[in-house]
Amino acid sequence: MPETLSYRSIAGLVEAAEAAGVRLSALVLRQQAAQLEQDEAALYETMRQQYAVMAEAVAAGCAPGVRSASGLSGGDACRMLEAQRSGAILCGGLFTDAIAKALAVSEWNAAMGRIVAAPTAGSCGILPAALLAVQAARGLPERDCVMALFTAAAVGMVIADRACIAGAEGGCQAECGSASAMAAAALVEVCGGRPAMLDAAVSIALANQLGLVCDPVAGLVEIPCIHRNAAGVAHALTAAQLALAGVRSPIPADETILAMKRVGDALPPALKETAEGGLAATPTARRLYEQVFGKPRG
């Protein structure tokens, strides 16, 4: 295995893993342990604890009575689980379970609970939901899922380096889009896909959310952020399934990342977390702002 690993491109990561004949996560763990001067087992344990926090956030967010301090959100994860129990679902159990888990983590975040920013608080539900739902559906070992987080982290590092992961800089495409790409890559690995399939998964996940704006109602990470986490995990599942089926993206992941940056740069400030455009500027959103803060938005 190489002693160094560059996080400048998805293609470079894939090439290194293919050349070594191992999963990308193994390379990332080794390189990060060396860079941080930590034992691999200790670094793995740190990531395992992060995965445990993700699972705790799902459990807490699914509980009845979860409500945000603003009163604008809460209870949707519980509603999804009830729909699943009653059979009132359109899609299979894995899909519904992933949506419920994404809602749970996002609602727990809005309720000021403990979450893992993955890569941001606004997109915190996508990666946990993807892995925890697939783990439950397939009975996967915890270690495989924890290792897949290293692959997701590597993808996030490339996106952060070549574009951005902040809604204030690139819109929601940079938050939920990046999280979906990270989750799609993790799913491909944990489901036995080759490293080369990661490129397609990342590209498809990002391309399907290109141009997504950041327009939080009342400036809070609740509406439409929580429901976008549910949509984000759906995008991740779709992208991973396509990649695992051998579907290739005509546009390489690295070019898609750069396209996302250019789109983000072109978005007006009103659509980048200022709550001055998009859904945040609707009449209902303005009423909700007044409801939360007791005065009209200035």
Beta bridge partners of 272: 214
User: Which positions ≥6 away from 6 have C-beta within 8 Å?
Assistant: 12, 13
Burial 207-234 (b: 16+ CB within 10 A, else e): bbbeebbbbbbbbbbbbbbbbbbbbbbb
Domain range list for the chain: 10-293
Res 76: pLDDT: 98
Residue 4's pLDDT band (cuts 50, 70, 90): confident
Mean pLDDT, rounded, for 53-75:
97
Give the integer Cα–Cα distance in Å for 87 and 67: 25
10-293 placed in CATH 1.10.3470: no
Residue with structure tokens 């691999």?
40
Res 1: pLDDT: 40
Global pTM?
0.97
Strand (E) positions, the chain? none
Give the integer Cα–Cα distance in Å for 172 and 191: 27
Give the integer Cα–Cα distance in Å for 217 and 275: 6
pLDDT exceeds cutoff 80 at 115: yes
Residue 184's pLDDT band (cuts 50, 70, 90): very high
| CB distance 178 to 159 below 8 Å | yes
Tell me how far apart the terminal alpha carbons of the chain are, to the nearest angstrom.
Answer: 57
Name the residue type at position 281. A
Mean pLDDT, rounded, for 138-159:
98
Q: Which of 201, 240, 207, 203 is nearest to 94 (CA)?
A: 240
| CB distance 243 to 201 below 8 Å | yes
Average predicted confidence (pLDDT) for the chain:
96
